[in-house]
């Protein structure tokens, strides 16, 4: 792996993916939705298979979340 997080848009057709993600949560409680999100995240982390890329993504989310709170 190249160890670099891709941040430029790469999804060819995001609307069906957004709908599928939204539909995945239909009828779920908040707790069930968190569990579904966690499972999906771990599947995608496994697919990425590059610890450095995943850690970079985690750090970017952490920084953006903290700056949004300020």
Residue 31 phi/psi, 5-degree rounding, is -65, -45
> What is the reported pTM?
0.80
pLDDT category at 2 given cuts 50, 70, 90 is low
C-alpha distance across the termini of the chain, in Å:
35
Q: Output Rg (C-alpha) for the chain, integer angstroms.
A: 14
Rounded distance, CA 14 to CA 45, Å?
A: 19
Rounded distance, CA 8 to CA 4, Å?
A: 12
For the segment 14-51, what is each residue's pLDDT rounded down to a tens digit? 999 999 999 999 999 999 999 999 999 999 999 999 99
pLDDT category at 68 given cuts 50, 70, 90 is confident
Check residue 50 and give its pLDDT.
Answer: 96
């Amino acid at each position: 792996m190249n160890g670099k997080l891709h941040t430029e848009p790469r999804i060819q057709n995001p609307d069906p993916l957004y709908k599928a993600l939204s539909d995945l949560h239909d009828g779920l409680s908040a707790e069930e939705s968190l569990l579904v999100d966690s499972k999906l995240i771990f599947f995608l982390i496994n697919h990425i298979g590059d610890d450095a890329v995943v850690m970079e993504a985690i750090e970017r989310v952490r920084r953006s979340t903290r700056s949004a709170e300020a």
